[in-house]
């Protein structure tokens, strides 16, 4: 049995930006403190929600190092270090380890894609390159690649590959993967609207965009379930569905950054090619935030 990185809710952190789109570290520090105070169980830095795809190498490593220092070992820091270039992912993973990250998040190769055999080779080489535990990230809607259950089984044999963030939306495939891998691979929901279903299959929690705006509630969905209060956990999941859907009403992280801006945090803009929400979209998001009393 492998060591679990975290149970509960890990916030998929945004990277706040100044109006000129440089990283706003004072606000970043404030958001990290808000997450820890809100009961978040881990932080994911430089993932999709953190806009890692538009960061320079220096920014990427600097953001990880900043989060490690700010967090000061109070919760695990999971560094997004994935790439569609195996060599680059290895380099970035080594940099993340040197910066003090507790674990790595490794997305499937995108655009150039690869076969299932290629996934095994790609992730194995990355996992061999550092001592850090690795969370695989399966998000076919963005990458065009889907990790199959048998591939998970093969990858779970590596001592450093300990978990997967599953965002393929296919509960049947996720159940199959869990049945094959058992305690050799922890599964986290990558979709906020599937937290409870994945927990019911043996999942360990969620890597959550919802947690950016409601850390206590994202944590509570998981904790209630772990405490045996399954009905209450499911009810909270259902109560939050309109907000979850609103946070994905445009390309992530456009809505969650806009939500945080509306809530009074200086989340700033997204980097191009991501553009601001339409006026109609922003108005609809604002109404949902008002419904949940996140803004006046």
Query: From the first residue on, what is the mean pLDDT of each consecutive set of 10 residues in the chain (296 residues)?
Result: 94 98 98 98 98 98 98 98 98 98 98 97 98 98 97 98 97 98 98 98 98 98 98 98 98 98 98 97 98 97
Residue 104 is predicted with a pLDDT of 99
| Ordered structural domains, the chain, with CATH | 8-229 (3.20.20.70)
Residue 181 is predicted with a pLDDT of 98
- From the list 3, 88, 113, 137, the catalytic residue is 137
Least Cα distance to 63 among 75, 88, 81 occurs for 81
Helix 116-129 to helix 86-98 angle (10° resolution) is 30
H-state helical runs in the chain:
25-37, 57-71, 86-98, 116-129, 140-143, 149-155, 171-181, 195-200, 210-213, 215-226, 230-239, 241-246, 254-262, 279-291
**DSSP per position, 66-120:** HHHHHHTTSS-EEEE---SSHHHHHHHHHHHHHTT-SEEEEEPP-SS---HHHHH
Quote the CA–CA distance of 118 and 109 in Å, as a whole number. 9
Give yes or no for a contact between 86 and 125, defined as CB atoms under 8 angstroms apart: yes
Residue 180 is predicted with a pLDDT of 98
Give yes or no for a contact between 132 and 101, defined as CB atoms under 8 angstroms apart: yes
Phi, psi for 164 (deg, rounded to 5): -145, 140
Residue 292 is predicted with a pLDDT of 98
> Is residue 280 classed exposed, middle or buried when 0-12, 13-18 and 19+ CB atoms within 10 A define those classes?
exposed
Chain-centre distance for alpha carbon 185: 17
Quote the CA–CA distance of 18 and 271 in Å, as a whole number. 10
Residue 7 is predicted with a pLDDT of 98
Residue 244 is predicted with a pLDDT of 98
Residue length, the chain? 296
Question: Could you tell me if residue 195 is left (phi over 0), alpha (psi between -120 and 50 degrees) or otherwise beta?
Answer: alpha
In three-state secondary structure terms, 121 is helix
137 labelled catalytic: yes
Instruction: Look up residue 210 and give its two tokens.
Output: 């919802």
Whether residue 253 is preceded by a cis peptide bond, meaning omega within 30 degrees of 0, is: yes
2 labelled catalytic: no
- From the list 30, 88, 157, 165, the catalytic residue is 165
């Amino acid at each position: 049995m492998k060591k679990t990185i975290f149970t509960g809710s890990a916030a998929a952190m945004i990277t706040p930006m100044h109006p000129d789109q440089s990283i706003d570290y004072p606000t970043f520090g404030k958001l990290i403190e808000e997450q820890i105070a809100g009961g978040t169980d881990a932080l994911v830095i430089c993932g999709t929600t953190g806009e890692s795809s538009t960061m320079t190498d220096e920014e990427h490593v600097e953001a990880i190092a900043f989060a490690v220092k700010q967090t000061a070992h109070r919760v695990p820091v999971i560094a997004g270090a994935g790439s569609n270039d195996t060599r680059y992912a290895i380099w970035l993973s080594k940099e993340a380890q040197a910066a003090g990250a507790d674990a790595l998040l490794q997305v499937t190769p995108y655009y150039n894609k690869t076969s299932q055999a290629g996934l095994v080779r790609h992730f194995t080489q990355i996992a061999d390159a550092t001592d850090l535990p690795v969370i695989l990230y399966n998000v076919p809607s963005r990458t065009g690649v889907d990790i199959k259950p048998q591939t998970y089984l093969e990858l779970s044999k590596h001592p450093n590959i300990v978990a997967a963030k599953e965002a393929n939306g296919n509960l049947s495939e996720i159940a199959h993967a869990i049945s094959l891998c058992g305690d050799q691979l922890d599964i986290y929901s990558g979709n906020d609207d599937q937290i409870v279903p994945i927990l019911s299959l043996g999942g360990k929690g969620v890597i959550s965009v919802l947690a950016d705006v409601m850390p206590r509630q994202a944590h509570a969905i998981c904790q209630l379930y772990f405490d045996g209060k399954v009905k209450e956990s499911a009810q909270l999941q259902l109560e939050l569905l309109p907000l979850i859907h609103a946070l994905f009403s445009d390309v992530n992280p456009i809505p969650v950054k806009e939500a945080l801006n509306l809530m009074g945090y200086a989340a700033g803009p997204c980097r191009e090619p991501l553009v601001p929400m339409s006026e109609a979209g922003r108005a609809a998001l604002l109404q949902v935030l008002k419904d949940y009393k996140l803004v006046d």
